[in-house]
Chains A and B, each alone.
Chain A
Amino acid sequence: MATVAGERDSSLWVILLTFTVAMLFSVVSLPEFIPWQLGYLRPQWVELVLIYWIMALPHRIGIFSAWVLGLFVDVLTGSLLGQHGVAFIIVAYIASSLYQRLRMFAVWQQSLIVFVTIGISQLVNFWVENFVGLSQWDMRFLLSALVSAMLWPWVFLVLRHLRRLFNVS
């Protein structure tokens, strides 16, 4: 029994590590020669990883974990405390209610769902920022969802490989 708990603890590190790396990717500074407009293409790494873990381990990663993660992302990006919390709750809700179907889908079909899910969460982020007067309305925020969806197959493959390698369950 103790060994099972031990394995669980060790596999938790894998999950935390992937989330940390995703956060790293989402704030890594671009070199100066890259035009700042490309910043709109930055994918939502944390949400991609979140969707994967909810799909793979719905019994361990759920809405509450997503919310806590959202708070950390809020602090990381300096947004209002709770803004990413809400966005991640929505992502987690969609992913955890669809996980059985998502597992059956081909990867490109999953990509479509990822696009819609991340698009909705981006919309929520945008509403909040609009509400407090931080940014003006434009559709460019959907670009990020698009890029995220295009990256999904690779994120999926890498995370599945990691999950099998470290036997995370």
Chain B
Amino acid sequence: MIGLTLLSIALMVVDHLSDLLDDVRSGLTVVVTPVYVVADYPNRTAELVQQMFTSRDGLQEQVISLEEQLLLMKVKTEKMSALTAENNRLRDLLGSAAKLQDNVLVAELVGVDPDPNKHEVVIDKGTQHDVFVGQPVLDAEGLMGQVIEVSPLTSRVLLISDQSHSVPVQVVRSNLRLIAQGAGVTRQLDLMHVQGTADIRQGDLLVSSGLGNRFPVGYPVGIVTQFEHDPSQPFAKATANPSAMLDRSRYVLLVFTEASLREPVSGSGS
């Protein structure tokens, strides 16, 4: 018993301080993957039942609204592609690096961490789909988090609302750079070290600033919900509401920036 306890403690230390055990873990994860898949069935069935009992009228309405959305999106994309081209041309003129076009991979949620203190989810794409640790994860509305653990078929994503997670952000209106830390509550981010006189107000949009080279530039992170400065405190209290539907999204996007696509190639020495 003492031996096993010591062994466990040694394992924990090694696991915490190094990535030596990552292969063991990803091997064991493959064994427990079926558990996750089966545990997701109640949700899946609920969705299926809901689909089965949708009326014809409801479906028609849905199709119409989706078609409208598609039309709007198409118009926006056309405008976007023109703007991207123009932006890249201007950047060329300025001699700065071209804005990268990001590739995405759609993944589906298969599990949520049962511990309410940890904001982690499991998705159904892994190293077989070239997912890597540190990969940014988005949903349709904004930045969701990053991959922290990969196994061949699944990977674990840390959400931006987790207490141990921070994102470098930028206020769109004033270009002010800040750090948004998870508050451990699903729909809240805390902005760290905000000056009392900072140019920031309620309703400001925060986007990822790209500093730290982890998250791509310019994806929405949240909307500022509160900005208060108590003169007795060194910093103002500012909170934001994450744009991504952290607790609702079933489908997420894994981002492959061009830099990260190039990296594995140069790493393998080809």
Contacts and interface: CB of A to CB of B under 8 A. Distances in A.
Contacts of A27: 35-36, 39, 111, 114
A47 B163 CA distance: 27
Contact of B25 (A24, A81, A93, A136): A81
A20 interface: yes
Interface stretch (B11-19, B68-76, B218-226): B11-19
A86 interface: yes
B149 interface: yes
A72 B5 contact: no
A133 B165 CA distance: 12
A77 B116 CA distance: 12
A135 B163 contact: yes
A157 B258 CA distance: 58
B133 interface: no
A28 B39 contact: yes
B35 A24 contact: yes
Contacts of A76: 32, 35-36
Q: In the complex, which range does the number of interface residues on chain A fall in?
A: 35 or more
B248 to A, nearest CB: 6
Contact of B247 (A32, A78, A136): A32
A83 interface: yes
Contacts of B43: 29, 31
B225 to A, nearest CB: 19
Which DSSP category, helix, strand, loop or mixed, fits chain A's interface? helix
B82 interface: no
A132 interface: yes
Contact of A134 (B8, B118, B186): B118
Interface string B42-64: 11001000000000000000000
B28 interface: yes
Interface string B1-38: 10011011111101110000100110011011001101
A146 to B, nearest CB: 16
A58 interface: no
A23 B28 CA distance: 14
B11 A31 contact: no
A152 B40 CA distance: 25
Contacts of A89: 1, 4-5, 8
B116 A63 contact: no
B125 interface: no
B4 A64 contact: yes
A82 B7 contact: yes
Given A32-B247, A80-B16, A89-B1, A135 B118 contact: yes
Given A28-B40, A70-B8, A81-B24, 4 more contacts: A29-B111, A32-B248, A63-B4, A93-B1
Interface of B: 1, 4-5, 7-12, 14-16, 21, 24-25, 28-29, 31-32, 35-36, 38-40, 42-43, 46, 111-118, 120, 149, 156, 163-164, 184, 186, 247-248
24 contacts: A20-B35, A24-B39, A27-B111, A28-B42, A29-B42, A31-B43, A36-B247, A37-B116, A63-B4, A64-B4, A70-B8, A72-B31, A76-B32, A78-B149, A80-B15, A80-B16, A82-B7, A83-B8, A85-B4, A85-B11, A86-B8, A93-B1, A135-B163, A136-B163
